[in-house]
Structure 1
Amino acid sequence: MKKYITTLLILMLTITAYGQRGPRFFMKGPQELPSELVEELQFDDTETKKVNKAFMKFQEDVMTMMMLAKEEGEVDREEMKKESDKLKLKHLEKTKGLLDDQKYEQYKAFVLMEMREQQQYILELKLRLTPDQKEKYDAITASSKATFTQLREQFEGDREGMREAMQKVQKQQMMMLSSVLTEEQMTIYKESMQQRRGRRQ
């Protein structure tokens, strides 16, 4: 009983701390899978319920690991990534028997993505791009990504200069996307970007 209470307290503290200023993926505590992903992978109700339960437990495990690491002192990001990757594999082992082979492989690919890749993937599902839009969208985002990388190298140590340069690139990217996406899609895109910026604060 004492062990249960201790674990519960750690989890509550973890959700509170990381919900306020921790990793962006866990801003509001454990979350269910995005509905767009569930639809894309064609999970039925039973699969959705079981995988969601496992997915939320996985998030709790990651948050607890991060909280404990923080309590021990300075956080080693590389070490935390290794531990997080181990938890991903543990989670995938638990979900392997819940899905057929095809769905499992698709779900596995999503889980093993880096956070930004997951965010981008979900955004594209929300946008419901046509093949022609997808080709143009990928070209625009790839070009912007390459430019951002160059700017980080160019303005290393100059945060203000880099911020201003990136804002110009972002503005240009938005203009280019507006010529490819519909008004409704642009609204979805802008809302997604605003949410990401809010999570970084």
Structure 2
Amino acid sequence: MRINNYIEGSCVNGPGFRFCIWVQGCKRGCPGCFNKEACKMQGGQEMDISEIFRIINRKKYDGISVSGGEPFYQKNDLELLLKTAKEQKLNTLVFTGFLYEELLKDCSSILRYCDYLIDGPYIRELPSHCKYAGSGNQRYLKLRDGLIESDLTFSTEDSSECEIIINPDGIVTTTGFFDIL
């Protein structure tokens, strides 16, 4: 899987304590994209799914979150990543610029392994309705066996949050959504 970055522990990229992966590559071109570096089709680093899980298994997580770039451009790797996570009893969340209805056509086998899906293109001008989505048109969906179980977009417990992480080398990473942006 070609990834742009990962974080070993986040509480703002899905429910609970999570391992987060940003994949490399996206051709969608959403105006105002906040992760342009991950959109470049070249770059990042290639990692085997087994290598990713060696890192994941160093800590106890509630789940994994996959963002990008666009995760569904790497369908085979995404499916294996999510399937392996489910086998390890981790819940899964995928951020995508595609709509759920679009993914049903070609990616239903992958959706079976998604517990949560944030769907829809990023639109900077539309304020988000929940802490996990980047813009107001995006939905926060709970899935079961690839089908929508519930729409959590307007859940009253979810509000915008962000994290600032400083690793031992002094590298600063921000994740989540800042209300001031």
Q: What TM bracket, shorter-length normalisation?
A: under 0.3
Please, what TM-score do these two structures have when normalized by structure 1? 0.25
Please, what TM-score do these two structures have when normalized by structure 2? 0.27
Give the greater-gyration-radius structure (CA).
1
Relative CO higher for 1 or 2, CA cutoff 8 Å, sep ≥ 6? 1
- In terms of fraction of residues, the more helix-rich structure is 1
